């Protein structure tokens, strides 16, 4: 193969690489635009439908117990488990009702009341 032929092949490869790079950059820009548009539409939906956004997509659970350690195990050891201590049953029941009224899931009315707990419901937790 002559030097001229080698140069011709090299030039053709460089041209093809430049075109493929341009195609990749165009595809990337298109994908970024699509992601931006999706995020914008999702944000509009979340504002227009706050209940769906908070209660269905990011469901939370609230309950009362006298044994938070055991209750945490019963619910599958949620990573964001939070506990609140109460002085009276009335205070605890009012807190539980307020949590459920604000969109938290939970049965309510159980026997225990000394501790309130919350966590995010995920595929690994149990309600």
Instruction: Specify the residue for token string 């309600």.
Output: 127
- Mean pLDDT for the chain? 85
- CA-CA distance, 107 to 56, in Å (whole number)? 17
What ranges do the domains of the chain cover?
A: 3-48, 53-120
Could you tell me the pTM of the whole model?
A: 0.55
End-to-end CA distance of the chain: 74
> Which residue in the block uniquely carries the two structure tokens 């595809």?
27
**Choice among 40-49, 66-75, 87-96, 99-108 with the minimum mean pLDDT:** 40-49
Helices (H) and strands (E) in the chain, counts: 4, 3
Digit-coded pLDDT (tens) for 5-37: 999 999 999 999 999 999 988 888 888 778 767
Backbone angles phi, psi at 103, to 5 degrees: 115, -5
pLDDT of residue 52: 55
| Pairwise CA distance, residues 110 & 96, whole Å | 11
């Amino acid at each position: 193969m002559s030097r001229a032929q080698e140069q011709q092949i090299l030039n053709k490869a460089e041209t093809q690489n430049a075109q493929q790079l341009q195609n990749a950059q165009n595809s990337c820009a298109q994908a970024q635009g699509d992601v931006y548009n999706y995020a914008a539409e999702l944000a509009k939906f979340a504002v227009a439908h706050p209940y769906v956004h908070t209660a269905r997509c990011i469901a939370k659970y609230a309950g009362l117990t006298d044994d938070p350690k055991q209750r945490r195990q019963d619910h599958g050891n949620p990573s964001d488990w939070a506990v609140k201590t109460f002085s009276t049953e009335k205070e605890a029941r009012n807190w539980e009702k307020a949590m459920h009224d604000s969109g938290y899931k939970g049965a309510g009315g159980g026997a225990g009341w000394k501790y309130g707990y919350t966590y995010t419901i995920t595929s690994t937790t149990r309600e």
